[in-house]
A and B are shown apart, each in its own frame.
Chain A
Amino acid sequence: MSIDKETVKHIAHLARIELQPNELEKLSLQLHDILGFIDKISGLDIDKVSPTSHILPVSNVLRDDYPHVSLPAEKALENAPSKKGNFFSVPKIIE
């Protein structure tokens, strides 16, 4: 399986990463190799392997509906690049 540059550009956009032309070139090649590596799986006989979504054989991990102590707001906001009062502040989002 190969990957074209347009797809890499699209993925970079979805990830909000700006790529320079040389980076695009380099990453396209690397992704191509990685996908080629993963492609080896399609050569395996997996008829007898059932699909899974998780690598560990555990299920129904649940917790009781019991409150814990939350972070104090000032602690939660401590690393915020920008804040206003008790709010995180971000560049204005227009819907």
Chain B
Amino acid sequence: MKYETVIGLEVHLQLKTKTKAFCGCAIDFGQPPNSNVCPVCLGFPGTLPVYNKEALNYAIKVALAFDCQIQEHTKFDRKNYFYPDLPKNYQISQYDLPLSRQGHMMITSKDAPKRIGITRIHLEEDAGKLIHEADASLVDFNRTGIPLLEIVSEPDLSSPQEAFDYLTGLKSIVEYLDVSDCDMEKGSLRCDANISLRPEGAKELGVKTELKNMNSFKGVKDALVFEVSRQTELLQSNQAMVQETRLWDADGGRTIVMRSKEGAKDYRYFPDPDLAVFIIDQPMIAKIKSALPELPQEKLRRFVRDYSLTEYDAGILVSSKGDAEFSEACIQKYQGHDKKIMVNWLIGPLLSEANSRKVKLHELKLDKNELLSLIGLVEKQEISLLSAKSVLTQAIDTQKPVQVLIKEGNLSQISNTDLLQQIIETVIAENTKSVDDFKAGKTNALMFLVGQVMKKSAGKANPKIVSDLINRRLS
């Protein structure tokens, strides 16, 4: 039997407010343990939480960016459980009246747009950090009470790749909003995945596994790939699937079952009497909506429209906000008529420089004016494209002006016909077979001869002039 995969993701985002959700303790990573704590976030009796205005503002921004319906009435509830990282013995979260519901995000699946539903985005607070030692567990409450958003997707994702693309798209949108660092390795974005299989075309969902402990987008994808094959094997051999939580073991490349906590699901939610309700009216929503920045999808459409980019090229440039801004500044500064030339530089040589240095495009140490002057020199045929690419590498390495680098490397393009003629004569003498092929009408032979001249000139010959000269010489 063939099976189809059903995946839903739960993402937790730390909001990058200055202070915690319910008290004024600074959010300041890398501080000594238990130094950003106070009676409120330590859960002392008699203290009262008051929610952070900026956190609410950030949360509404995110909800709007995912086209959610903001609920007019929203409130906080207590989610009760005992764990040493939770000093109050309940987490302040939202249960039946979450901040927002029914949003969506678009991803591209098999070259077609696909809508991924978002069930809800709600507010909650982070727990503390535990360090396990041989004989004890140590607790640091600095993280306790950092505002979190939980973003729950519908089970609309049909493959590990779609899950990966959803996370990438989500991160991109949140980065544009500038409300979270979205760094999975540092824990500012966390993701749990629910995955089940069902016979192809079936309506009801199969028995699901909840996956935890992934610390990168790739880890999420790998864990899901593993789980698809594990569940397929079980189903094909008619073994019973059990609903369970499994942990991703990145080193072992497998998921392992997590010891279930007895009664862990009995959270006894009830409205938090310490926190009054929130009424989010239309003027407030309109105000926040009007201040939303241009989001990746809008920017993509605008790049396609204004700069005649392909969707693919635009998609690469807009995926990071910094890169999109850098690229747009370059495109606008570029005076040439065909913006595609600048775009090709950006997604070609520049992106490969960025990738090989493991940085973002906009993090390359390259002055935009130097880039423009380099492209200008190629267009004026003062330097070959090949040399220009090596100048680009050096310019980023040394931060020297490109003019200086060209002079130092003696890289000016040879357009001097006398000099080129000499090289061409040598190449013709050494490659009589190709010369005969060319005369017999094989145009590829011309490319080969031009290539030989380029090689002999160490990439400095002007290929167009060389091509013309050989053509004239041999016809």
Q: Which residues of A contact B (CB under 8 A)?
A: 10, 13-14, 16, 53-56, 58-68, 70-73, 76-77, 82, 84-95
Contact = CB atoms under 8 A, between A and B. Distances in A.
B25 A67 contact: yes
Interface string B3-24: 0000000000000011100011
Given A61-B275, A84-B138, A87-B138, A53 B75 contact: yes
Interface string B120-139: 00000000001111111111
A13 B18 CA distance: 38
Contacts of A71: 37-39, 42
B33 interface: yes
B75 A77 contact: no
A33 B42 CA distance: 35
Given A63-B50, A73-B33, A90-B84, A68 B278 contact: no
Interface stretch (B266-274, B410-418, B435-443): B266-274
Interface stretch (B53-61, B303-311, B333-341, B345-353): B53-61
Contacts, number: 135
Interface in B235-293: 247, 258-259, 263, 266, 268, 271, 273, 275-279
Contacts of A61: 50-51, 275-276
Q: What is the interface of chain A mostly: helix, strand, loop, or mixed?
A: loop
B301 to A, nearest CB: 33
Interface of B: 17-19, 23-26, 32-39, 42, 50-56, 75, 80, 82-84, 97, 130-141, 247, 258-259, 263, 266, 268, 271, 273, 275-279
A87 B19 contact: no
The secondary-structure label for the interface of chain B is loop
Contacts of B80: 14
Contact of A62 (B56, B131, B263): B56
Contact of B132 (A55, A66, A72, A92): A92
A65 B52 contact: yes
Contacts of B54: 64-65
Nearest to B75: A53
Given A53-B271, A63-B51, A73-B32, 14 more contacts: A53-B75, A54-B275, A60-B278, A61-B276, A62-B51, A63-B50, A65-B52, A71-B37, A71-B42, A76-B34, A86-B140, A87-B140, A90-B84, A95-B247
